[in-house]
Amino acid sequence: MGGSPTGGGTTIDYSIILAQARSNNIQSITFRGAEATGSFISPIRGANGQAITNFTVIVPTETAQEQLLIPLTENGASVRFNTNETSQLLVFLVNLLPVVLIIGFLVWTARRAQRQMGSAMGFGRTQAREYTVERPQVTFNDVAGQDAAKQELTEIVDFLREPEKYIALGARIPRGVLLIGPPGTGKTLLARAVAGEAQVSFFSIAASEFVEMFVGVGASRVRDLFKRARDNAPSIVFIDEIDAVGRQRGAGLGGGHDEREQTLNQMLAEMDGFDQTESVIVMAATNRHDVLDPALLRPGRFDRQVTVGLPDKKGRLEILKIHTRGKPLDVNVNLNDLAKGTIGFSGADLANLCNEAALNAARRNAKRISMRDFSNAFDRIVLGTESPPLSDAHERKVVAYHEAGHAVVAALLPNSDPVLKVTIVPRGQALGVTAYMPESDRRNYSRAYLYTKIMTLLGGRAAEEIIIKEVTTGAENDLRRATDLARRMVSNFGMSETFGLLNFGDDERQPFLGYSLSQGRSYSEETAAEVDAEVRRLIKQAHDQTIALLTENKDKLIALAEALLVQEVIEQDEMLRILGMHDDPRMERIASTHFSLGKGSPADDLPNGEIIQDPEPEATLKEADSSGD
């Protein structure tokens, strides 16, 4: 008849409650959804005989509830309905949640599509950074070591300041100025200096920023850039690394609809669209002018080309003065000696040298930057970070004789650059280093100098053959550089007795996939084989002479190697004492420079297809012969 007690009383079957209601035995009842609780007028007996006054009943359906309400109301029982608002609200929210999620997803999708549409519409806007006259200006006083380039650009500044003078005479200022030079020589700085001197707006952008994944974006950005420049005239547009979009059209396997070609075509059209009265100058920078499209270089576009090369000694001194401005220098710091010892450094290299010297002084908690800091900074930049010494005795011996071989050959040959330091302390990826300093800035190199360089490079391998009686992989980098130099002597520089003045160098000015498919080589396979044979002969001849030279001076080789095993680092003076060469006039000239290390010779990486003019800075930074590269 009943169930277990609950919070509202004993659970009673619906049929019993209905019978009690019809018998007028229910005093009150409260409905809560499908459940009802109440009390009897007279207690009833449960299944186990207990008296039940309060009860709980489950009303299964609405019909059952209506049937129960009829006798209750007729007999005057107290009937109440208590709706659970919290439960109903929860049910409502649960039912509403799917609708909210669907609406939210639709709103998010619409907004995302709108953002994508806005982003796509914004692809065509230029990403150029604008430097207005209100911002701190760079002037020619901030540019050192490039006097010739500054002189060339002075006319551009004068035109931007007083264009009427030129227009009245019917003169047309160059619409474009192309700055050509190795990285780090100050091409961007020169362009900003022109804008600063002329007090005009300056728009700067990298050529790679024109190109995106969508076709036509580059051309649209070019149009937007030149429109902004015209709206802010007089102004300067500077495009860095223009070879990214300005390379020769038609090269490679792609078709004529390449995105870069469309960008270049638009750039050519914009530069042609300048009026003579529009004071907009386009300046661009590149270190690969040989790959640029001829249409870009013709008069009327980039019709003025300014070479921004590596600074000479005077230029390096001026650059050092700028970058040491505001830095506390010790009394022993001689900027003139630093300029002498940094042959081949670009402006960026010198700035890095000064910064590394300051960091080195800070690491040792010094209040001033000393010459020692500059020397350590030079070693860190050129030779690499010092690593722990070699622990294997045999490996130390191999490296010592390898580096001693380089040093002895360089010291004995009259056309070699003087050796300034020999070390078997690993630096960077090299197990040992032999460092040189050229006697002066070089622009041209003789056959004797280059042949001596090959012998010096082979000195390490030759020493291993003579003393160790076996060869190691430590000469890999030396052999690669020697072979490359010998091939250029034969193919490019006309320094082979067999081929005379013929040039068989490949056209490296067009380094694009597919270009060679339509061009072909200018010499036969038989000639190519003869070139290889001549290179092999030149290397073998230099190797044999190096073996003979070191065998004849075996005592010097052993003495220097044994000293390296003990001292690990040997400077120039100590090396001369060991070799008994204090009277070498080349060493005396360099000894006047108190800077401990010098820049290497550019002969390591001669420029392609040229008679060794203005070597690239990467070459000059790699002169130190190393073992284990």
Question: Each residue of 464-481: pLDDT tens digit?
Answer: 999 999 999 889 999 999
Residue labelled with tokens 């036969």: 524
The confidence score (pLDDT) of residue 250 equals: 64
Q: Of 586, 564, 318, which Cα lies nearest the Cα of 422?
A: 564
Query: Domain residues of the chain, as ranges?
Result: 10-81, 133-249+257-307, 313-383, 393-593
Helices 525-552 and 447-463: angle between axes, nearest 10 degrees? 60
Give CA–CA dist 221/324, Å, rounded: 40
Share of the chain above pLDDT 90, in %: 21
Q: Where are the alpha helices (DSSP H) in 42-81?
A: 62-74
pLDDT of the residue at 544: 95
For 133-249+257-307, the fitting CATH number among 3.20.20.70, 2.60.40.420, 3.40.50.300, 3.40.50.1370 is 3.40.50.300
Q: What CATH architecture does domain 10-81 belong to? A: 2-Layer Sandwich (3.30)
Active-site pick, 261, 270, 403, 464: 403
Report the mean per-residue pLDDT for the chain. Answer: 79
In one-letter notation, the amino acid at residue 483 is T
* CATH class held by domain 393-593: mainly alpha
Task: Please list, in sequence order, all residues whose beta carbon lies within 8 angstroms of the beta carbon of residue 446, skipping any fewer than 6 positions away.
Answer: 415
Longest dimension (CA), the chain: 138
The amino acid occupying position 282 is V
Contacts by 546-552, CB closer than 8 A, 24 or more apart:
546/409, 546/455, 546/458, 546/459, 546/462, 547/462, 547/465, 547/466, 549/409, 549/412, 549/413, 549/455, 550/405, 550/408, 550/409, 550/459, 550/462, 550/463, 550/466, 551/466
Omega before 234 within 30 of 0, i.e. cis: yes
Structure tokens at 288: 């690969």
Q: pLDDT confidence of 520, banded at 50, 70, 90? A: low
Is residue 356 over pLDDT 70? yes
Class of domain 313-383: mainly alpha
Q: Cα–Cα distance between 435 and 600 in angstroms, integer?
A: 7
Give the position of tokens 């506390």. 328
Q: How far is CA 358 from CA 324, 334, 368, 369, 459, in A?
A: 9, 15, 8, 6, 37
Least confident of 4-13, 76-85, 236-245: 4-13
Q: For the whole model, what pTM was predicted?
A: 0.67
Q: Using a pLDDT cut of 70, give the percent of the chain over it.
A: 80
Q: Is residue 497 among the annotated active site residues? A: no
Tell me what pLDDT residue 614 has: 33
> How does pLDDT run across 33-53, given as a tens digit for each residue?
778 888 888 888 877 778 888
Q: What would the pLDDT profile of 80-136 be if each residue is shown by its tens digit?
A: 877 655 556 677 777 888 888 899 888 888 887 766 554 444 444 555 555 554 454
